[in-house]
Every structure is written in structure tokens, then in C-alpha cells.
């Protein structure tokens, strides 16, 4: 089966940095995605990694190590609006282009 693990909940302080980890064990891999999802809304695309290393995009960065089956999403200068669920998803798990998601990490940003 396909297995994607991420912490269920995290809490951080406004202005701080938080790292959300994701580990995966899948048969097939075309890339790893991070999505942000606010309650009651659709997921919105944050980042995509297909090669090892760090991808930086403004306050958000994402890292991938394919040999370790590991990724993290780094959020800097946290804002209250960053409170949301962060979904790790693997493309190509089990073949094809579909995304296989983890259960999501609910991030709460406090004052």
C-alpha cells in the first residue's frame, strides 16, 4: 500500500518559523506536492518538488530527499492567516498521475 505520514497538529507563534515534516513510502514517485487548505475551502497549491533539495518561494520553502522518502514545508514569518491544514501529497504512487495525500497537518498560529 501507499503510506504518507505527517503530524496531525502543530502550534506556533506569530512571526516564528515552523517546519512541517512528511515521510512517504510509495510504489512509484513523480513528485511531491504541498497544499494549503483553510476550513471549508479547496486545497491551494503551495509547492512541488521532483528533485532533491530545497525550493524557496517567498515565505514558504519545501525540501525533498527521495532516498529518505522525506519532505518538509518551512513557513517563515508566520501570520495568523497561515492557520490552516497543510497537505503533503505524492504524485505517481501506485502509478499514473493521481495525487495520494496524507491526512494533513492542522497548524494553529497564536499571538
Partner 1 sequence: DTGVSQDPRHKITKRGQNVTFRCDPISEHNRLYWYRQTLGQGPEFLTYFQNEAQLEKSRLLSDRFSAERPKGSFSTLEIQRTEQGDSAMYLCASSSQEYNEQFFGPGTRLTVL
- Which residues lie near partner 1 (CB under 8 A)? 4, 30-31, 33, 35, 41-45, 48, 50, 87, 89, 91, 96-104
Residue 96: CB minimum distance to partner 1, A: 5
Q: Output 7 or 31, the one with its CB closest to partner 1.
A: 31
Q: Output 36 or 63, the one with its CB closest to partner 1.
A: 36
Q: Output 4 or 109, the one with its CB closest to partner 1.
A: 4
47/59 Cα distance (integer angstroms): 12
Q: Hey, how many other C-beta atoms are within 10 angstroms of the C-beta on 2?
A: 13
User: Per DSSP, what are the bridge partners of residue 54?
Assistant: 63
Residue 42: CB minimum distance to partner 1, A: 4
Residue 44: CB minimum distance to partner 1, A: 7
Q: Which of 64, 63, 59, 78 is nearest to 18 (CA)?
A: 78
Q: Output 25 or 44, the one with its CB closest to partner 1.
A: 44
71/62 Cα distance (integer angstroms): 7
**Measuring CA to CA, how many Å separate 41 from each of 6, 38, 74?**
20, 5, 22
Amino acid at each position: 500500500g501507499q503510506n504518507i505520514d505527517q503530524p496531525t497538529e502543530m502550534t506556533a507563534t506569530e512571526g516564528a518559523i515552523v517546519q512541517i515534516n512528511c515521510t512517504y513510502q510509495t510504489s512509484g514517485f513523480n513528485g511531491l506536492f504541498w497544499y494549503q487548505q483553510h476550513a471549508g475551502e479547496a486545497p491551494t497549491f503551495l509547492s512541488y518538488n521532483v528533485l532533491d533539495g530545497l525550493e524557496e518561494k517567498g515565505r514558504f520553502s519545501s525540501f525533498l530527499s527521495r532516498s529518505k522518502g522525506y519532505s518538509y514545508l518551512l513557513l517563515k514569518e508566520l501570520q495568523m492567516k497561515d492557520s490552516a491544514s497543510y497537505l503533503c501529497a505524492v504524485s505517481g504512487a501506485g502509478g499514473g498521475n493521481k495525487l495520494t495525500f496524507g491526512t494533513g497537518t492542522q497548524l494553529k498560529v497564536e499571538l
